[in-house]
């Protein structure tokens, strides 16, 4: 299923450190040749300071070769630079853990107050240039792969400077990336929301810059939305919810999706099928546009492979398949009053006994107005009231079918 892999598309919008989890995932799925993925990792590491990781990959690619001399020298330079930067910020790090300073910093963490920095200047001789050095140190340790220390220092920097600070946006992005890479999803969720607010409240950004920021945001948000308990609801709300600026305003994130990233949300991208197609979007198109149940059933088989090989969607595979079967069943039953079990099992990509148990559970859970005639092997649907919109859709479907040479599925009534 390599042709449906989105890693190359997604990677264009990720910090290089965020690409590594996706490459690790591809290694586990055996979608690509292992050496091809190792080479991709090695290229990603070229502009980082994770030299030990780079040496490890080099040795895997060249088991008989010697370690490159330039990487050995680079390691020595990295250690020297780390020592220099850490010494420059140590007085600040010592000061902020004192009781009064820590309490003041925590109190103003979500405000634009300069009280904490003024307190540090007055009591510990901490000047503003040392706070700037903290930002540089945080960026450096992030580049070294020390994400925990990076998150701590970036969080401290954010608490000490106003929201208008020249490094604030970079700080917010770095803090979010650090929490994602440590899989601290509650912290990442909070950071994601703070980043979104910062993007939307900055009135000085050009429309093009806003588009870029929102495009990066919706890509990075996938890590959080597919790992946080409230994430999926928030993701749907982000794209399908009402615009925050008023009912007549378009949803800016849906607009960003349509403009820059139709590949992003595979299930919402059905509306973008002219720009991006895969089995998931084609399944929805078969079902809701063409009412082609045979085609939808075939695409559903392909969806299994796509979901199981997608870094973000693998955790949704079972839930997706269950809901996809419900969509097929609901659509099919609105057209046919009486359906044979073997036909229904085929449409749902299930065995006959499995399909019968599945329908029985729907009836028991009051999700389905129907009864099963096991002797005749049929499901008889109860009366259902359709909205005018639904009636129009089904009328269009019936018109299409009357003009076709064959029917999608015969009515066995």
For the chain, the residue count is 413
pLDDT for residue 268: 56
Q: Cα-Cα-Cα-Cα dihedral of 110, 115, 116, 118, to 10°? A: 150
pLDDT for residue 386: 37
Own/partner long-range contacts of 210-214 (Cβ < 8 Å, ≥24 apart): 210/252, 211/256, 211/259, 211/260, 213/169, 214/252, 214/253, 214/256
Q: Which of the 8 DSSP states describes residue 407? A: -
pLDDT for residue 404: 36
Question: pLDDT means per 10 residues in the chain (413 residues)?
Answer: 81 94 92 92 92 94 89 92 96 94 83 82 92 97 96 95 92 98 98 96 89 95 92 85 51 86 59 62 77 84 88 87 82 77 81 86 72 83 45 38 33 28
The answer to the question of residue 310 being in a domain is yes
pLDDT for residue 152: 96
Q: Distance between alpha carbon 209 and the CA centroid of its chain, in Å?
A: 21
Write down the residue that tokens 């690409």 correspond to: 19
pLDDT for residue 144: 95
pLDDT for residue 197: 95
The answer to the question of residue 345 being in a domain is yes
**DSSP secondary structure, 176-228, as one string:** HHHHHHTT-HHHHHHHHHHHHHHHHH-TT--HHHHHHHHHHHHHHHHHHHTTS
The answer to the question of residue 395 being in a domain is no
The Cα–Cα gap between 9 and 12 comes to: 6
The answer to the question of residue 313 being in a domain is yes
pLDDT for residue 392: 36
The answer to the question of residue 347 being in a domain is yes
- Burial tier of 35 (Cβ tally within 10 Å: 0-12, 13-18, 19+): exposed
SS3 assignment, position 90: helix
Q: Which domain holds residue 347?
A: 288-381
Overall number of domains in the chain: 1
The answer to the question of residue 64 being in a domain is no
Q: Which of 369, 296, 282, 372 is nearest to 327 (CA)?
A: 296
Two tokens at 61?
């690619």
Q: Which residues of 50-59 are buried (b: 16+ CB within 10 A; e: fewer)?
A: bbebbbebbe
pLDDT for residue 22: 95
Its pTM stands at: 0.73
The answer to the question of residue 309 being in a domain is yes
Return the CATH number at 293: 1.10.10.10
The answer to the question of residue 371 being in a domain is yes
């Amino acid at each position: 299923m390599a042709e449906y892999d989105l890693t190359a598309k997604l990677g264009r919008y990720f910090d290089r450190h965020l690409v590594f989890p996706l490459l690790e995932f591809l290694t586990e799925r055996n979608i690509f040749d292992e050496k091809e993925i190792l080479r991709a990792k090695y290229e990603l590491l070229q502009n980082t300071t994770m030299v030990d990781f780079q040496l490890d990959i080099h040795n895997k690619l060249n088991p008989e070769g010697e370690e490159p001399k330039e990487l050995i020298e680079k390691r020595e330079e990295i250690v020297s630079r780390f020592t220099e930067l850490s010494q420059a910020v140590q007085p600040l790090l010592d000061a902020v853990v004192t009781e009064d300073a820590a309490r003041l910093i925590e109190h103003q963490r979500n405000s634009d107050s300069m009280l904490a920095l003024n307190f540090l200047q007055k009591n510990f001789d901490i000047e503003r240039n040392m706070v700037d050095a903290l930002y540089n140190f945080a960026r450096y340790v992030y580049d070294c792969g020390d994400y925990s220390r990076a998150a701590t220092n970036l969080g401290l920097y954010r608490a000490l400077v106003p929201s208008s600070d020249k490094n604030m946006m970079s700080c917010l992005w770095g803090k979010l990336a650090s929490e994602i890479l440590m899989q601290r999803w509650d912290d990442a969720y909070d950071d994601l929301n703070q980043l979104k607010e910062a993007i939307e409240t900055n009135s000085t950004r050009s429309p093009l810059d806003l588009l870029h920021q929102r495009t990066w945001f919706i890509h990075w948000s996938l890590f959080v939305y597919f790992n946080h308990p409230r994430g999926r609801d928030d993701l749907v709300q982000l794209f399908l919810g009402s615009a925050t600026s008023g009912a007549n305003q378009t949803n800016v994130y849906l607009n960003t999706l349509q403009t820059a990233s139709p590949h992003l949300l595979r299930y919402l991208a059905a509306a973008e099928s002219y720009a991006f197609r895969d089995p998931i979007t084609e399944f929805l198109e078969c079902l809701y546009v063409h009412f082609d149940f045979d085609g939808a059933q075939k695409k559903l088989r392909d969806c299994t492979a796509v979901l199981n090989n997608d870094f973000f969607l693998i955790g949704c595979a079972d839930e997706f398949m269950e809901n996809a079967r419900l969509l097929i069943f609901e659509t099919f039953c609105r057209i046919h009053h009486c359906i044979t079990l073997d036909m229904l099992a085929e449409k749902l990509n299930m065995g006959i006994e499995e399909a019968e148990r599945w329908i029985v559970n729907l009836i028991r859970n009051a999700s389905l107005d129907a009864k099963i005639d096991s002797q005749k092997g049929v499901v008889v649907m109860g009366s259902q009231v359709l909205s005018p919109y639904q009636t129009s859709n089904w009328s269009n479907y019936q018109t299409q079918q009357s003009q076709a040479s064959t029917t999608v599925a015969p009515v066995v009534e």
